[in-house]
A = this chain, B = another copy of it.
Amino acid sequence: MESRCENCIIRQFNSLRAMSKEELKQVSDTKTTKIIKKGESLFEEGDKLNGVYCVRNGVSKLSKLSANGKDQIVKLASKGEVLGQRSVISQEITNLSAVAVNDMEVCFIPKDSITNTLQKNPNFTLEVLRHIAHDLKEADDVIVNISQKTVKQRMAEAFLYLQNNFGEDADGFLALTLSREDISNVVGTATESAIRIISEFKKKGLIHTSGKKIGIKDERKLLEVVEGF
């Protein structure tokens, strides 16, 4: 038997915890679990979404393509996050693409269970609202960072962000390994520039690398870079 949402721990991290037993039962009855391999996409910018994706495992990058062909990564979503919410709420096509950064396990929840609950259960709606409000605040911060900080500052910030949000492995490397291109798309810069700054940070002893893996060596100095020293 497939696992039931009622027993799913992941739910505690997102707005689904505000659903009633019956609502949750309906979600569980209609949901499907999917395995998404690294590099595959959950949905593409412009798609009409018929539901939301609840992340059980793995990480997805949410990005938007610009006219010049470069992707800007707007958010990295991991365990517990619900993707596609915004699009389902506004009943608009999605403005972002979601691509797996590593192998993922997600639950697809058809939109009806969501929209029905949104209309009937104010606790759930409020909970979703709180999450979206939080995302909005973070987006505002990103705007200010990108427009006011140098690439070097944003690179340092990105490493600290990855450390805080995804942790480190046994060998002291960031647990989430991104390609140099993905890093540059998070930071909003050219891939070559990102690589150059990685080299510089390495030379200065702020980080260490092994292949594409990156580890933080001197958190204090990285923070100083973020602050502009």
Asked whether B143 lies within 8 Å of A146 as measured between CB atoms, the reply is: yes
A40 shortest CB reach to chain B, Å: 22
Chain A contributes a number of interface residues (CB within 8 A of B) equal to 45
Closest to A153 in B: B67
Tell me which residues across on chain B come within 8 A of A130, comparing CB atoms: 89-90
A74 (CB) vs chain B CBs: closest residue: B140
* Residues of chain B contacted by A188 (CB below 8 angstroms): 143, 146-148
- Tell yes or no: A64 within 8 A of B by CB: yes
A66 within 8 A of B: yes
Copies held by the complex: 2
- Tell me, in angstroms, the Cα distance from A96 to B134 when the chains sit together: 13
| A121-145 to B contact mask, C-beta < 8 Å, 1/0 | 1110110111011111101111110
In the bound complex, residues from chain B placing their C-beta under 8 Å from that of A3 are none
Cβ contact within 8 Å between B140 and A95: yes
A164 within 8 A of B: no
- Quick one: closest B residue to A96, CB to CB? B140
A86 at the interface (CB under 8 A from B): yes
Q: Does A119 contact B (CB under 8 A)?
A: yes
Quote the shortest CB–CB distance from A3 to chain B (angstroms).
Answer: 29
Q: Is A72 part of the binding interface, using a Cβ–Cβ cutoff of 8 Å? A: yes
Are the C-beta atoms of A136 and B134 separated by less than 8 Å? no
Looking across the interface, which residue of chain B has its beta carbon closest to that of A85? B133
A228 within 8 Å of B by Cβ? yes
Question: A204 at the A/B interface (Cβ < 8 Å)?
Answer: no
* Contact residues in B for A142 (Cβ distance below 8 Å): 143
Distance between Cα atoms of A69 and B121 in the complex (Å): 44
Verify if A118 is at the interface (C-beta below 8 Å from B).
Answer: yes
A224 and B118 alpha carbons, distance in the complex (Å):
42
Which residues in A have some Cβ–Cβ distance to B below 8 Å?
64, 66-68, 70, 72, 74, 85-86, 89-90, 92, 95-96, 118-123, 125-126, 128-130, 132-137, 139-144, 146-149, 188-189, 227-228
**Interchain Cβ contacts under 8 Å between A and B, 21 examples:** A66-B148, A66-B149, A67-B149, A72-B147, A74-B143, A74-B144, A86-B136, A89-B126, A89-B133, A90-B137, A118-B126, A120-B122, A125-B126, A128-B129, A135-B136, A136-B139, A139-B139, A139-B143, A143-B146, A146-B146, A147-B188
